[in-house]
Amino acid sequence: MQTLNESVRYEADDRPPLFLTAGLGLQYTILSLASVVLAPVVLITVVGESEAYLSWALFAALIVSGVATTVQSIRIGRVGAGYILVMGSTSAFLPVSVTALEQGGPGLMATLIVCSSLIQFLLGAKMAMLRRVFTPTVAGTVLMLIPISVAPIILRKVQDVPGGVSELAAPVALIATFATIVLVALRFSNAWRIWSPAIGILVGCGLGFAFGIYDVQRVVDAPWIGLPDFSAHPGLDLQFDAVFWGLLPGFLIITLVGAMDTLGDSIAIQRASWRKPRAIDFRSIQGAINADGLGNLLSGLGGTVPNTTYGNSIAIAELTGVAARSVGVCVGVLFVALAFLPKLVAVAVAIPGPVVAAYFVVLMALLFIFGVKILVNDGLDYQKSLIVGSGFCVGLACQFDLVFPELLDGPWGRMLSHGMTAGGLTVILLHGILDLTSARPRRLRTDLSTAKLSEIDRFLCDVASRMKCDESMTHRLRAVAEETVHTLLGNGADDPVRRLLIVARADGRAVSVEFMASGGDLNLEDQLAMLGSAEKDWPSEAETPLRLLRHYATTVGHQQFHDTDIVTTRLEPEGSAVGKST
């Protein structure tokens, strides 16, 4: 029997009372507003762009965040997760965006963001194909290098205080903000932990006001309702010169990392949104990545910083037990409304530089640890450890010009001047070399049909012979293939001819076999979990292949995309200390 998540009060499809929906929507908005606003503020003030462009970028960031959050919640076709995933400005792009602004201006940055967003639509459409190219090893390494690339930008904000104030103003505001965020997060309950960044910023702003470094005049001068100067919109720079090509790889890598972050958030919010555990819906993940791409595309066209999903969506859903998508729609509406209320936005823009720096120090620390977690969860064997360590060292050396800087000039220098770009490319290159020099998996392409079972059986007998499997393992391998084919046919029996790709590889003494076919409607993991449950009376014809599959295979996983079903089975030798995964 599956354990119900009793803490979920309202599931994704439910409609909570209007007052509760509005209240939670306001809470999400308040917690996310600082991140939405401060990323463009840091980017534009560090480079020294005009106030008119800053006002425009803030307006566009709020509009795009509102639209993207709404689309994520309601899911339009294949765009959107269908869950509460708050979207907002991301600080991961700060290093490459600062370089783009300094070397080409807002138009170049906008063009790079638009071009890099297209890869997210490709990833959303072909995630089943690209999942082996862009691995957790790449994502984890790049996430660890982002804080190192952002460090010089944060240091500039530490000294961003008006002249004539006390020398203690910047260090006191910085230390107080940092200490408050960390101590509240460490010592208080989950409810207070979620609010720790906001509490830290309030403490820092209070001290900033006392020292005279909080820009009160900006708040006073801002109108309550208004629009930015539309002439400040930068447009697109379509020259595609050497600077563009030098910076494009960095934007592409960070975009892919952002997609991995969205993937993780999408998985987590699915688990937090239902009382009865479900298998992960990879079609929802594809929709989330497509919506992420839409947000980045709109950000580029709007001339502001790119978007990403915010992890506090999951924390608040778990804390309150309310996962209704109507709350996400409310957040989107509030973001758009705030775009037309400059005085409220000015309250956040006026936050002193040292306070902003302390906030980003905590943010970057968590980003670094998130990268470490991705690597650890994926498993760090000797080969992966060497790849990660090499990529990290190369990224560190390139970030601080420690290795032959005189040789890295022109487009190459621009591309490798950021640690996360250099480190990410190093990991991708080393991973590719490892794959090319490893034993190749055995593949069979055929039709998904019972008439092809004899061909599939001969193929797996040959695989078992080459991998020196014993008689028992060979029998199980053949049985798993037969039952998987029968089950996949049950998922899409009314479909036209479907192609099937079988990939078998040795994994130590175990054998892993992937069955890739065009998409079906039912998830095998959900079906396996329901076997024998009193809640579902399966006909014996449908239940038998599933029971046999669970019996023969050590683990069974099912990734269900819009256009592809991937069933991954793993067979351990009999007597191994392993458990059945459903």
Tell me what the mean pLDDT of segment 16-26 comes to. Answer: 85
- 38: its two tokens: 């401060």
Sign of CA dihedral 251, 253, 258, 259: positive
- Which of 393-402, 411-420, 474-483 is predicted least confidently? 411-420
| Whether residues 299 and 316 fall in one domain | yes
**What phi, psi does 567 have (nearest 5°)?**
-100, 120
DSSP 10: B
Structural domain contains residue 381:
yes
Predicted model pTM: 0.70
The yes-or-no verdict on residue 526 having pLDDT over 80 is no
Residues 498, 564 contacting (CB under 8 angstroms) = no
Structural domain contains residue 487:
yes
The yes-or-no verdict on residue 302 having pLDDT over 60 is yes
pLDDT attached to residue 1: 44
| Whether residues 368 and 422 fall in one domain | yes
* Percent of residues in the chain assigned helix, strand, coil, to nearest 5: 65, 10, 25
The yes-or-no verdict on residue 70 having pLDDT over 90 is yes
| Whether residues 482 and 402 fall in one domain | no
**What phi, psi does 473 have (nearest 5°)?**
-65, -40
Q: Which domain holds residue 216?
A: 18-154+163-435
| Whether residues 179 and 297 fall in one domain | yes
pLDDT attached to residue 25: 86
Residues 172, 203 contacting (CB under 8 angstroms) = no
Structural domain contains residue 186:
yes
Structural domain contains residue 176:
yes
The band of 528, judged by pLDDT with boundaries at 50, 70 and 90, is very low
- Which of 106-115, 174-183, 464-473, 524-533 is predicted least confidently? 524-533
| Whether residues 424 and 450 fall in one domain | no
| Whether residues 329 and 190 fall in one domain | yes
pLDDT attached to residue 4: 60
Domain end, chosen from 376, 400, 435, is at: 435
pLDDT digits (tens, 9 = 90+) for 242-264: 889 888 988 988 888 778 778 76
What CATH number is given to the structural domain containing 486? 3.30.565.10
The band of 540, judged by pLDDT with boundaries at 50, 70 and 90, is very low
| Whether residues 404 and 473 fall in one domain | no
The band of 93, judged by pLDDT with boundaries at 50, 70 and 90, is confident
Residues contacting residue 262 through CB under 8 Å, at least 6 positions apart: 85, 285, 288, 289, 292, 308, 309
Percent of the chain with pLDDT over 90: 16
Structural domain contains residue 578:
no
Tell me what the mean pLDDT of segment 555-566 comes to. Answer: 72
Output the CA–CA distances (angstroms, integers) from residue 136 to 74, 132, 133, 371, 447, in the order listed.
28, 9, 10, 9, 32
β-sheet with 442-447: strand ranges across = 442-447, 499-507, 510-517, 565-571, 555-560
Residues 473, 573 contacting (CB under 8 angstroms) = yes
| Whether residues 283 and 415 fall in one domain | yes
pLDDT digits (tens, 9 = 90+) for 55-68: 999 999 999 999 99
pLDDT digits (tens, 9 = 90+) for 185-244: 888 766 677 778 888 889 999 999 999 898 888 888 888 998 888 888 988 988 888 889
Distance CA 449, CA 545 (A): 15
Structural domain contains residue 4:
no
Structural domain contains residue 11:
no
| Kind plus residue range of the DSSP H or E element containing 268 | helix 242-271
More confident residue, 361 or 561: 361
- 173: its two tokens: 């505001």
pLDDT attached to residue 405: 65
| Whether residues 420 and 448 fall in one domain | no
pLDDT digits (tens, 9 = 90+) for 423-449: 888 888 888 888 777 667 888 888 888
More confident residue, 490 or 129: 490
pLDDT digits (tens, 9 = 90+) for 362-413: 878 877 887 888 788 767 778 888 999 999 998 888 877 777 666 666 555 5
| Whether residues 409 and 482 fall in one domain | no
| Whether residues 107 and 214 fall in one domain | yes
The yes-or-no verdict on residue 314 having pLDDT over 50 is yes
Q: What is the mean pLDDT of the chain?
A: 80
pLDDT attached to residue 109: 94
pLDDT attached to residue 537: 42
Structural domain contains residue 12:
no
- Which of 321-335, 521-535, 555-569 is predicted least confidently? 521-535
Domain end, chosen from 411, 435, 459, is at: 435
- 404, exposed or middle or buried, with CB in 10 Å at 0-12, 13-18, 19+? exposed
| Whether residues 454 and 429 fall in one domain | no
Tell me what the mean pLDDT of segment 291-313 comes to. Answer: 89
Domain end, chosen from 376, 408, 435, is at: 435
Specify the number of domains making up the chain. Answer: 2
Tell me what the mean pLDDT of segment 152-176 comes to. Answer: 86
Q: How many residues are listed for the chain in this entry?
A: 582
Distance CA 171, CA 178 (A): 11
3-class SS at 368? helix
pLDDT attached to residue 117: 92
